[in-house]
Amino acid sequence: MARTTVISRIARLEREGIIAGYSLRLGREVIDGLVQAFVSITVEARSGPEVIRKLTKIVEIQMLCSVSGEFDYMVLLQAPSPARLDRLLDEIGSIDGVARTRTSVVLSKKIERGMQVF
């Protein structure tokens, strides 16, 4: 298939909203050097928007989701070292409106199918 045909089709798919964006997947060599953790966050009443605003500024946060259940939000953190992860957890815990956190460090990935945008 000609390059111009491919570019034209991709452009059409983008215009139609079928392709909504692009992402980057790091290679195994890079990811193996990072520490990942899931952080569950409970916030005080009516402080959610302000907590989200402050969390948005933390570049190591790969994903922030509102969730049902015991916690209000779930964060996926990716840090270059355990020491940096420790500082990030302190930073998140000290945000005004954060009532409680619980952290689970990723030890290994058993299944990884890639990120899907919902």
For the domain that residue 58 is a member of, what is the CATH number? Answer: 3.30.70.920
Rounded to whole angstroms, the Cα distance separating 63 from 14 reads 23
Question: Does 12 fall in a domain?
Answer: no
- Residue 25: its pLDDT value, please? 62
Lowest mean pLDDT among 6-10, 44-48, 55-59: 6-10
108 backbone dihedrals φ, ψ, rounded to 5°: -160, 160
**Number of domains making up the chain:** 1
Question: Does 5 fall in a domain?
Answer: no
Question: Does 97 fall in a domain?
Answer: yes
Q: Under a CB-based contact definition with an 8 Å cutoff, are residues 96 and 47 in contact?
A: yes
- Residue 61: its pLDDT value, please? 97
Range of the domain at 95: 28-105
Condensed to tens digits (0 to 9), the pLDDT of residues 83-115 reads 999 999 999 999 999 999 999 999 888 887 766
- Residue 30: its pLDDT value, please? 45
Question: Does 56 fall in a domain?
Answer: yes
- For the chain, what is the mean pLDDT? 88
Question: Does 117 fall in a domain?
Answer: no
- Residue 29: its pLDDT value, please? 46
Question: Does 40 fall in a domain?
Answer: yes
Higher pLDDT: 21 or 70? It is: 70
